[in-house]
Amino acid sequence: MGRSVAILVSVGLLLASSSGCLLNRTNRKVVRQDEARQGVQFESNLAQSAFTQAATDESKREAEGDSSGIYIPFLLAWGDETVLSPAAYYNDQIMLCDANGDGLITEAEAWAYNPDYMTSRQESTTPTSSSIQFVDPSNARSSLALGEG
């Protein structure tokens, strides 16, 4: 009885230490690795920030890769993964963002490409009630004449 418990514990530890599978293999291939990053111009700093924030997001680059494999729980995990190089991904994002292909990314193109960034920037620059100055119309002439308003 004690020997069978020891075997079960050993098998359990083996499974836990091998990520749940006895056989693991992942082959990762980076494609277009020698591709150089293309140059691009931006209409403004806002357009550049919006584009760059999305185009250099590693998690999006990784998520757009292809993967395939065979998975048998607790026994086998055998897979292949293909991802673009960072420069190739950046170049592809330029093609997606630059709608008219003129080599200039405008704020409108950046907005369409990365609306979350542009919306958050717009909300952060929208005046709040504490920064808005209210003027009493009956007092407007006197305060403007005195340079107060």
In a domain, 3, yes or no: no
How many residues are recorded in the chain?
A: 149
**Average pLDDT score over the chain:** 78
Domain of 15 in residue numbering reads as: 11-118
Per-residue model confidence as pLDDT tens digits over 104-127: 999 999 999 999 887 787 666 544
Q: Is the pLDDT of residue 100 over 50?
A: yes
Note the pLDDT of residue 141: 43
Entry pTM? 0.62
Per-residue model confidence as pLDDT tens digits over 47-64: 999 999 999 988 888 878
In a domain, 34, yes or no: yes
Cβ atoms of residues 13 and 77 within 8 Å:
no
What's the total number of domains in the chain? 1
